[in-house]
Amino acid sequence: MDSGRGQVEAEFVRALGQLSGLVRGIALAVLSVFGVLSTPTGALPVAFALLGLALVAGAADCYHALTGKARALACALTCGRAVAICVAQPWTVAGLWAPNVLTITGITVQWQWPPRVTVPVITGLLAVEAAVLGLGEAAPTLVRVVLESTLARLAFVLLLRATRWGERVRDRQAALERAETLALERRRQEREYLALLHDTASATFLMVALHEAEPAAVAGYARRDLALLTGERGGPAAHDSLVDLEPSLRGIVEQSPLAVGIDWEPVPLLPASVALALARAVREALLNVERHAGVTAARVSVTRERHGAVVTVADEGAGFDPETVPGQRRGIPGSLVGRMAAVGGSATVTSRPGAGTVVRLVWPDV
pLDDT at 191 over 70: no
Q: Are residues 159 and 246 in the same domain?
A: no
Q: How many residues does the chain have?
A: 366
Starting at the edge strand that comes first in sequence, how are the strands of the sheet with 357-363 ordered? 259-264, 297-305, 308-315, 357-363, 346-351
Confidence of residue 151 (pLDDT cuts 50, 70, 90): very high
What percent of the chain clears pLDDT 70, i.e. is strictly above it? 78
The whole-number pLDDT of residue 210 equals 44
Q: What is the mean pLDDT of residues 96-100?
A: 85
DSSP E strand boundaries for 126-272: 242-243, 259-264, 270-271
- 305 Cβ neighbours under 8 A, 6+ residues apart: 362
Q: Is residue 218 part of a domain?
A: no
Q: Are residues 255 and 161 in the same domain?
A: no
Q: Could you tell me the CA-to-CA distances from 64 to 17, 51, 91, 246, 342 in Å, in that order?
A: 9, 20, 31, 64, 54
The whole-number pLDDT of residue 66 equals 83
Q: Which long-range contacts (CB under 8 A, 24 or more apart) does 327-334 make?
A: 330/194, 330/195, 330/198, 330/202, 331/198, 331/203, 331/284, 331/288, 334/191, 334/194, 334/195, 334/198
Q: Are residues 152 and 291 in the same domain?
A: no
Q: Is residue 198 part of a domain?
A: no
Q: Are residues 161 and 247 in the same domain?
A: no
Q: Are residues 40 and 158 in the same domain?
A: yes
pLDDT at 45 over 70: yes
Q: Which of 145, 171, 197 is the last residue of a domain?
A: 171
Q: What is the mean pLDDT of residues 116-137?
A: 88
Q: Are residues 19 and 166 in the same domain?
A: yes
Confidence of residue 252 (pLDDT cuts 50, 70, 90): confident
Q: What is the CA radius of gyration of the chain?
A: 40
> Tell me, what DSSP letter sits at residue 42?
G
Confidence of residue 95 (pLDDT cuts 50, 70, 90): low
Which of 238, 254, 325, 330 has the alpha carbon at shortest distance from 286? 254
Alpha-carbon dihedral sign for residues 37, 43, 44, 50 = negative
Q: What is the mean pLDDT of residues 257-261?
A: 92
Under 8 Å between Cβ of 18 and 95: no
The whole-number pLDDT of residue 312 equals 95
3-state DSSP assignment of residue 329: coil
Q: Are residues 52 and 150 in the same domain?
A: yes
Q: What is the mean pLDDT of residues 266-273?
A: 86
Residue type at position 255: Q
Q: Is residue 220 part of a domain?
A: no
Q: Are residues 21 and 167 in the same domain?
A: yes
The more confident residue out of 137 and 335 is 137
Q: Are residues 155 and 247 in the same domain?
A: no
Confidence of residue 143 (pLDDT cuts 50, 70, 90): very high
Q: Is residue 226 part of a domain?
A: no
The CATH number of whichever domain residue 298 belongs to comes to 3.30.565.10
d(CA 74, CA 62): 9
Q: Are residues 106 and 246 in the same domain?
A: no
Q: What is the mean pLDDT of residues 108-133?
A: 88
- Which domain, by its residues, includes 83? 3-171
Q: Are residues 263 and 155 in the same domain?
A: no
The model's pLDDT over 60-83, given as tens digits with 9 standing for 90+, comes to 888 888 887 888 888 898 888 888
CA 214 to chain centre: 57
Q: Is residue 193 part of a domain?
A: no
Lowest mean per-residue pLDDT among 183-192, 203-212, 258-267: 203-212
Domain total of the chain:
2
Q: Which of 171, 205, 229 is the last residue of a domain?
A: 171
Beta-sheet pairing, 242-243 with 259-264 = unpaired
Q: Which of 171, 201, 220 is the last residue of a domain?
A: 171
Q: Is residue 225 part of a domain?
A: no
Confidence of residue 198 (pLDDT cuts 50, 70, 90): low
Q: Is residue 192 part of a domain?
A: no
- Say whether the peptide bond before residue 45 is cis (omega within 30 degrees of 0): no
Q: Could you tell me the CA-to-CA distances from 362 to 211, 271, 292 in Å, in that order?
A: 33, 14, 23
Q: Is residue 184 part of a domain?
A: no
pLDDT at 326 over 80: no
Confidence of residue 10 (pLDDT cuts 50, 70, 90): confident
The partner residues of 155 in beta bridges, in order of sequence, read: none
Task: Give me the numbers of helices (H) and strands (E) for the chain, helices first please.
Answer: 11, 7
Lowest mean per-residue pLDDT among 172-186, 215-229, 325-339: 215-229
Q: Are residues 37 and 165 in the same domain?
A: yes
- Alpha-carbon torsion angle 85, 90, 92, 98, nearest 10: 40
